[in-house]
Amino acid sequence: MAEVGRRDFLTYATVTLGVVGTGLSLWPFIDSMNPAADTKALSTTEIDLVPIQVGSRITVQWRGKPVFIAHRTPQQIEQARQVDLASLRDPEPDEKRAIKPEWLIVVGICTHLGCIPLGQKSADPHGDFDGWFCPCHGSHYDHSARIRKGPAPKNLEVPKYAFTEKGGVKIG
């Protein structure tokens, strides 16, 4: 076994110090790629659905976007399910858009140019299909938030969500 000389020791020590120094200097840049705590906090939103009456709608914020939550009546659910899918521009059955039929949850941004459709308040115009109406360019959505008339190319987006045991919903 050869003895480790002074020159070899200095080489190993310099290389080790260089690797550790490089790692320590790169760590802040690597760590900055992680999402900030405030961003992580906004990634999900929990809403208590118990106080929302049948037939009413509310708007909540999720990731800086409006999310429409509609507590649909049995008549609205039936209307949404009886639509001929072949007549739709973006055919999607109501059963796929609503996990529980009485609750419809969609991102409230028109798929045409990003305006916020009207229809959350009872005094708002609800369009020709009694759902939502985009005042910017005249897109009409039905009770399942599917595009029925106007320039919008797609239905209102359904975000990922799950119902909680306490009668709420977790969006995101």
Which residue in 27, 28, 15, 67 sits closest to 46, CA to CA? Answer: 67
Mind giving me the DSSP string for 42-82? HT-EEEE-TTPPTT-EEEEEETTEEEEEEE--HHHHHHHHT
Rounded CA gap, 18 and 120, in Å? 61
Dist CA 11 CA 59 (whole Å): 65
Sequence-distant (6+) residues with CB within 8 A of 108 are 59, 65, 66, 67, 68, 116, 117, 120, 132, 156
Name the residues annotated as catalytic. Answer: 137
Rounded to an integer, what distance in angstroms lies between the CA atom of residue 57 and that of residue 15?
Answer: 65
